[in-house]
C-alpha cells in the first residue's frame, strides 16, 4: 500500500491506458483487502478513503468504500469527520440504502458544541438529504435557522431549502423563520435567507403576498449598497457586495410580478441602478443584467423598459462574447414586448452577424428575423441576403426559409417579392427546399403581369449559372410554362443592362446543357424533361421541336426508372399531336395556401418532378387499391353516375371514384348496411344483392370485376372512347398532374358490362372454397386480365360469417413455396357480425406455368372471447387453382 501522493504519481506516470488501468486495479484490490481485514488504524482508513475520492474523480467504481466513510463519521477527530463527510457526499446519494445509517451520526453532529462539526453535518444534509432524513431531522434545522451563530444560520437556511424541496408540506415550519432572516445584518445570512425566500415563493406562489411587506426594507438595503462607500469586507472590483445586490434584485422580481403597488416601490431604485452602475467591468454587467430582467418582468413603465433594453443594446458592443451573447439572447425574448425599443439597436444587431463567434452569429440571425416588419423589410432583407452570401452552410437552409417567409409576409409589392426569392435561389439554391420552390411557382402563376419579367430573369440567371439546384428547378418550370412569352418579347436586358436576343435554339441549348451536366440530379432531370415537353408546344421551329423530341428520347434508356418512365411517356405523346397540345396547355393559377409558415426541417414527400400526364393504373392495381381502402368510398345515388370519359378520368386519378350505397339485403332478419363484400360489388358497378351472403356471394363479385375491368375496353363499358384530356392541373411542388376530361360531363346511368363486352380482356374464374369451419367460410377467387404480367395472379379472399355469433380479430396469413412470392393487403374488416362479409387481396408471383400452392392460416375469436381462451386457428393447404392460371399467354374469355 502506497500513500495517496505516491498513488497519484503512479497513475500520472502511466504511459498507456493499459498501464494506468493496471495501477488502478492493483490499488483498488489493496484497498478492498484492507477493508476486509478490518484494521483499527484510523490513519490507514483515512488514507484509503482519500484514495477512493481520487478514484471517484477518475470515474472508477468506489461503492465498496461507503461503509468505511460511515465509520469515519463516528470518530471524534475533526480531520476524520471532515474526510468522512466529504466521502459521504461524493460516494453516496439519496437513493442509497446505507444512507439510513447516516441519520444518527448527523443528528448527533447537528447538536455538537463545535460549530465546524455542525457545519459539516449541515453541508452533508443539504447535499444528500432524502425524504426520510428530512422528516427526521427538520426539527434540528429549525433550531439552527434561528441560532445566534451567523456561520450556522446561513448554512441552516440552505439546508432548510433542501428539506422544503424534498418535503413541501414542511414549508410552513420555515416561513416565519425565513422572514427573520431578511432582517439580518450579516451579509452571508442575508444572501442565504433571500435564497430560501426566493425558493419558497417560486415553489408556492401563495406565499408571495406574505413577503411583499419586506419590499421597502429590501429597497433600502439595495440603496445602501449602491450608495455606500468602500467596504473592504464586501468590495468586488469597486462595487459593494454584488452577490447580495443580485439576490435582492432576483427576489424583488418575484415579489413585484403582477402587483402595481409593489412595482412603484421598486421603480426608483431600479432606475438608479440602471444609470449609476459601472458597466466597464463584468461585476457591474451582472448587476445590470439582473436589473434588466427585473424591469422587464414587473409592470414597469415604458420609460424604464426602454432604459433596460438600451442596457442590453450596450451589451452588444461589449468585447466579452459572453456579455454579447447574453444581450442577444435577452433581446430575442423581449422583442415582442418592446419592438420599437429593440429596433433602435438594429444596426448593432446586424454587425453581430459578422462576429467571429458562431454562437453570436446564430443568435444575431434569429433576432434579425424577429425584427422584420413592413417598414424595415427592404433594409433588413438586403442585409440578410448579403450575409447569406458568406454564411456558414449550417445557416443557409434555415435562412432561405426565413427570408422567403418574411418576403411573403411583408413584401411591399410582387416585383420585390419575386426579386428577393430569385436572389435567394441564386445565392443558396442548393439549400432551398422543394416547398419553397412550390410557393414561388404559385406566386408567379398568380401574377400574370410579372410572368414575362420572371421568365426573363430566370433565363438570364440560367445562362450564367446552373450549379444551384433550386434555381435550375424554378427556371425549368417557369421557362417551360411561359417560354412562349419569352420568345414573343424577343429581347430583354440582363443584369448588365445589355440587350440580349432570345432564340428558340438558345432555350433548347440551355436545357440540353443542364440535362447532361454533372449537376443534373434525378429531380433536375425530371423538371427539365417536363420543361422540354411543354416547350414542344410553345416552339414554332419544327427543327427545334424535333431536337426536343430527340433529347427526350435519349432518356428513355436511363438507368433511373423514374426518369426512364417519364421520358417514355413524353416520347409517346409526340405521336399524338392533338392530345399533346391539349395536355400541355398552360396550367391555371395555383391555389396559394393560407398557412405560409414554412419549417426548414420539413421534408416534402411528393414526387421528385412535376409530371404533365399521370401514369395510368392497371385494372388490377385499381382493384387492389379499392380492396385495401385506398379509394375513398362516398355514397352517391345509385341511379346516376358520371359519363364514361369521367369514369376513366377518375380511374386514372383525376377525381374521386364513384361509389354507390352498400347492400341493403336482409341478414338474419335485419338490414345490413355495412357489408364490405357488397360494398365492393357496388363500387365495381354491380347491383345490390338481396340474397344470402353465403349463397349469392360469388356472382356479384364476378359481375363487379367484369364491370371495373370493362372500363379499359376499346369502347369503354358503354359508349365511344373518352375525349382527349385537358391540360393538367398545376403541380408546382412536383406532384404528377392527372389528365382531366375536356368535354363537359354528362350524367347518365352506367350499364353494367357483361362478360362478353370484355372479351379478350380478362378470364373469369370462379370463387374456390378454401374451408368452412366454426362459423367462418373462406373462398379464393383468382383475377387475371390483359394487363397482368405472366407469372402474376391477384386473388380475392372473401370471408363470410355463416354462424350465429360475432367473429372478432380475424387474422389471415398466407405462405407459399420458396420459388414463389406473396403479398397481402390489409383485411377490409377484422370483426364480422353474423351474415357479414370481409375481403382481403393477395398477389402471388411465380414462374410462368407453375402451380400456385398456398398454405393458409386463419385465426379468429368467437363472441369477443379473450385470445388466450377461445381463439380458433385454422390451417389448410390450398392447391385447387387451374394449372394454366400462370400461363404466359394473355387471358382470354
Predicted local distance difference test score (pLDDT) of residue 672:
38
Q: Tens of pLDDT along 802-820?
A: 888 888 888 888 998 888 8
Predicted local distance difference test score (pLDDT) of residue 636:
32
Q: Which residues of the chain have pLDDT under 50?
A: 595-760, 865-869, 890-893
Distances in Å between the Cα of 500 and the Cα atoms of 376, 423, 492, 514, 535 are: 35, 20, 5, 20, 20
Predicted local distance difference test score (pLDDT) of residue 791:
79
Which residues make up the CATH 2.60.40.1230 domain(s) of the chain? 762-886
For cell 433550531, what's the residue?
143
Give phi and psi for 764, each to the nearest 5.
-90, 125
Predicted local distance difference test score (pLDDT) of residue 762:
57
Provide the whole-model pTM.
Answer: 0.58
CATH for 93-203?
A: 1.25.10.10
Residue 813 and residue 857 in contact, taking contact as beta carbons nearer than 8 Å: yes
Distances in Å between the Cα of 77 and the Cα atoms of 65, 71, 80, 81 are: 19, 12, 5, 6
Which residues make up the CATH 1.25.10.10 domain(s) of the chain? 93-203
Fold of 762-886: Immunoglobulin-like (2.60.40)
Residue 246 and residue 287 in contact, taking contact as beta carbons nearer than 8 Å: yes
Fold of 378-583: 1.25.10
Predicted local distance difference test score (pLDDT) of residue 684:
37
For cell 372471447, what's the residue?
865
Q: 727 Cβ partners below 8 Å, 6+ apart?
A: 582, 583, 584, 585, 586, 587, 588, 740
Distances in Å between the Cα of 31 and the Cα atoms of 68, 87, 562 are: 11, 15, 70
Quote the CA–CA distance of 695 and 705 in Å, as a whole number. 18
Q: How many Cβ atoms are within 10 Å of 551's Cβ, its own excluded?
A: 19
Residue 367 and residue 361 in contact, taking contact as beta carbons nearer than 8 Å: no
Amino acid at each position: 500500500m502506497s500513500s495517496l501522493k505516491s498513488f497519484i504519481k503512479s497513475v500520472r506516470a502511466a504511459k498507456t491506458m493499459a498501464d494506468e488501468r493496471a495501477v488502478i486495479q492493483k490499488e483498488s484490490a489493496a484497498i478492498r483487502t484492507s477493508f476486509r481485514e478490518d484494521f483499527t488504524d484510523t490513519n490507514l482508513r483515512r488514507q484509503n478513503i482519500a484514495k477512493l475520492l481520487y478514484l471517484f474523480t477518475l470515474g472508477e467504481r468506489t461503492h465498496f468504500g461507503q461503509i468505511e466513510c460511515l465509520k469515519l463519521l463516528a470518530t471524534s477527530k475533526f480531520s476524520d469527520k471532515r474526510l468522512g463527510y466529504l466521502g459521504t457526499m461524493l460516494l453516496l446519494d439519496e437513493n442509497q440504502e446505507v444512507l439510513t445509517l447516516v441519520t444518527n451520526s448527523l443528528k448527533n453532529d447537528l447538536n455538537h458544541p463545535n460549530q465546524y462539526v455542525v457545519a459539516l453535518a449541515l453541508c452533508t444534509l443539504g447535499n444528500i438529504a432524502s425524504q426520510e432524513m428530512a422528516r427526521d431531522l427538520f426539527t434540528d434545522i429549525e433550531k439552527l435557522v434561528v441560532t445566534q451563530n451567523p456561520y450556522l444560520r446561513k448554512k441552516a437556511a440552505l439546508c432548510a431549502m433542501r428539506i422544503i424541496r424534498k418535503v413541501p408540506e414542511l414549508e410552513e415550519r420555515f416561513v416565519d423563520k425565513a422572514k427573520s432572516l431578511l432582517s439580518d445584518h450579516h451579509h452571508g445570512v442575508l444572501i442565504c435567507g433571500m435564497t430560501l425566500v426566493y425558493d419558497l415563493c417560486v415553489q408556492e406562489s401563495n406565499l408571495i403576498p406574505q413577503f411583499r411587506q419586506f419590499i421597502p426594507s429590501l429597497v433600502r438595503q439595495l440603496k445602501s449598497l449602491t450608495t455606500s462607500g468602500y467596504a473592504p469586507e464586501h468590495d468586488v472590483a469597486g462595487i459593494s457586495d454584488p452577490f447580495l445586490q443580485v439576490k435582492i434584485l432576483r427576489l424583488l422580481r418575484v415579489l413585484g410580478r403582477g402587483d402595481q403597488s409593489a412595482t412603484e416601490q421598486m421603480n426608483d431604485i431600479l432606475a438608479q441602478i440602471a444609470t449609476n452602475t459601472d458597466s466597464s467591468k463584468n461585476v457591474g454587467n451582472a448587476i445590470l443584467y439582473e436589473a434588466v430582467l427585473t424591469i422587464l418582468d414587473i409592470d414597469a413603465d415604458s420609460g424604464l423598459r426602454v432604459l433596460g433594453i438600451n442596457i442590453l443594446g450596450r451589451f452588444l458592443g461589449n468585447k466579452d462574447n459572453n456579455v454579447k451573447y447574453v444581450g442577444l439572447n435577452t433581446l430575442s425574448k423581449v422583442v415582442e414586448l418592446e419592438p420599437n425599443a429593440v429596433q433602435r439597436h438594429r444596426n448593432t444587431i446586424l454587425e453581430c452577424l459578422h462576429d467571429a463567434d458562431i454562437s453570436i452569429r446564430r443568435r444575431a440571425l434569429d433576432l434579425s428575423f424577429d425584427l422584420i416588419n413592413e417598414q424595415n423589410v427592404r433594409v433588413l432583407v438586403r442585409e440578410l441576403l448579403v450575409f447569406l452570401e458568406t454564411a456558414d452552410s449550417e445557416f443557409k437552409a434555415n435562412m432561405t426559409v426565413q427570408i422567403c417567409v418574411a418576403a411573403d409576409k411583408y413584401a411591399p409589392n410582387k416585383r420585390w417579392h419575386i426579386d428577393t426569392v430569385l436572389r435567394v435561389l441564386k445565392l443558396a439554391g442548393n439549400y432551398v427546399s422543394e416547398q419553397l420552390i412550390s410557393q414561388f411557382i404559385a406566386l408567379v402563376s398568380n401574377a400574370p403581369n410579372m410572368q414575362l419579367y420572371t421568365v426573363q430573369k430566370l433565363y438570364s440567371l440560367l445562362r450564367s449559372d446552373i450549379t444551384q439546384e433550386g434555381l435550375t428547378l424554378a427556371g425549368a418550370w417557369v421557362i417551360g410554362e411561359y417560354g412562349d412569352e419569352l420568345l414573343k418579347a424577343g429581347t430583354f436586358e440582363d443584369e448588365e443592362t445589355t440587350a440580349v436576343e432570345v432564340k428558340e435554339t438558345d432555350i433548347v441549348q440551355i436545357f440540353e446543357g443542364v440535362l447532361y451536366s454533372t449537376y443534373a440530379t434525378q429531380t433536375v432531370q425530371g423538371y427539365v424533361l417536363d420543361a422540354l415537353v411543354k416547350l414542344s408546344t410553345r416552339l414554332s421551329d419544327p427543327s427545334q421541336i424535333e431536337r426536343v423530341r430527340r433529347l427526350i428520347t435519349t432518356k428513355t434508356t436511363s438507368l433511373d426508372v423514374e426518369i426512364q418512365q417519364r421520358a417514355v411517356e413524353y416520347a409517346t405523346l409526340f405521336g399524338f399531336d392533338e392530345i399533346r397540345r391539349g395536355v400541355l396547355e398552360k396550367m391555371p393559377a395555383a391555389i396559394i395556401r393560407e398557412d405560409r409558415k414554412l419549417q426548414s426541417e420539413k421534408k416534402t414527400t411528393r414526387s421528385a418532378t412535376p409530371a404533365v400526364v399521370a401514369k395510368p393504373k392497371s385494372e388490377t392495381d385499381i382493384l387492389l387499391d379499392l380492396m385495401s381502402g385506398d379509394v375513398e368510398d362516398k355514397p352517391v345515388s345509385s341511379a346516376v353516375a358520371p359519363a364514361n370519359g369521367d369514369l376513366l378520368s377518375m380511374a386514372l386519378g383525376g377525381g374521386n371514384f364513384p361509389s354507390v350505397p352498400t347492400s341493403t339485403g336482409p341478414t338474419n332478419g335485419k338490414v345490413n348496411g355495412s357489408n364490405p363484400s357488397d360494398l365492393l360489388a357496388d363500387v365495381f358497378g354491380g347491383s345490390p344483392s338481396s340474397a344470402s351472403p353465403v349463397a349469392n356471394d360469388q356472382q356479384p363479385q364476378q359481375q363487379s370485376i367484369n364491370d371495373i375491368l370493362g372500363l379499359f375496353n376499346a369502347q369503354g363499358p358503354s359508349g365511344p372512347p373518352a375525349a382527349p384530356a385537358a391540360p393538367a392541373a398545376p403541380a408546382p411542388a412536383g406532384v404528377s398532374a392527372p389528365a382531366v376530361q375536356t368535354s363537359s360531363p354528362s350524367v347518365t346511368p352506367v350499364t353494367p358490362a357483361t362478360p362478353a363486352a370484355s372479351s379478350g380482356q380478362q378470364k373469369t374464374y370462379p370463387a374456390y372454397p378454401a374451408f368452412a369451419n366454426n362459423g367462418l367460410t373462406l373462398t379464393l377467387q383468382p383475377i387475371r386480365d390483359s394487363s397482368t404480367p405472366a407469372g402474376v395472379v391477384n386473388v380475392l379472399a372473401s370471408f363470410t360469417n355463416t354462424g350465429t355469433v360475432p367473429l372478432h380479430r380475424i387474422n389471415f396469413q398466407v405462405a407459399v413455396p420458396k420459388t414463389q412470392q406473396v403479398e397481402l393487403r390489409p383485411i377490409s374488416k377484422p370483426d364480422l357480425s353474423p351474415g357479414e362479409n370481409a375481403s382481403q387481396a393477395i398477389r402471388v408471383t411465380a414462374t410462368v406455368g407453375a402451380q400456385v400452392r398456398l398454405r393458409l392460416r386463419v385465426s379468429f375469436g368467437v363472441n369477443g372471447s379473450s385470445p388466450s381462451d377461445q381463439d380458433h386457428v385454422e390451417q389448410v393447404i390450398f392447391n385447387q387453382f387451374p394449372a394454366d392460371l400462370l400461363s404466359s399467354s394473355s387471358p382470354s374469355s
